[in-house]
Copies of this chain bind each other. A is one copy, B any other.
């Protein structure tokens, strides 16, 4: 009996994804668009955080669009549209992550001359998206204080494969039994001294600082 866990992800699939990711990246940068892949667990507040970041960037005159990646449905897409953010919905069907090919098609549907910044919200998952870069400038991972203080230790790969990590819903710490210092410590250890960003999409805390670290002049 072969080991099932070793089959799933074939090397040429990953290589093909990486090739398409490079094509996507050239296409976006060619149009002067800065792009961010927002990965992270389900319910970590990715959508709300993107809305907050988009609002800050819009205030500074930047034109922001979003791609909402979900297995099914269009809940996040609807939230983006309600917040006035031009958005596209991408359903993955049964897959637990977006991939560069899905984004290639999504980019074909957007008029890239209309935007300066593109947020891509990946499927809520701390495992699958790590291996599939989409071709964005930056990859961000979002977790929340509601998920317990062992998230970094449990899922090192996605924290290693991303450029920046955010601990969201910090406003809920007073009512939760969660050791934020452990999360910060685990992340700093894994990333050799880098800082875990702390935000609240609800109150706006930490959002501007995070955008600055992402290279935006806000």
A22 within 8 A of partner (CB): no
Interface size bracket, A side: 35 or more
Q: Which of A8, A70, A153 has the most CB of B within 10 A?
A: A8
| Interface flag for A50 (CB, 8 Å) | no
Instruction: Report the stretch among A12-20, A30-38, A57-65, A205-213 that lies at the interface.
Output: A12-20
Q: Decide if A127 touches B131 in the complex (CB within 8 Å).
A: no
Q: Enumerate A1-60 residues with CB–CB distance to B below 8 Å.
A: 1, 3-5, 7-10, 13, 16-17, 20, 41-43
Min CB gap A13→B, angstroms: 6
* Distance between Cα atoms of A16 and B5 in the complex (Å): 12
Which residues from chain B contact A124 at a C-beta distance below 8 Å? 41, 126, 154
Beyond A41-B43, A95-B127, 11 additional pairs, beta carbon < 8 A: A4-B99, A5-B94, A5-B102, A7-B10, A8-B8, A9-B94, A42-B154, A42-B155, A72-B156, A75-B150, A75-B154
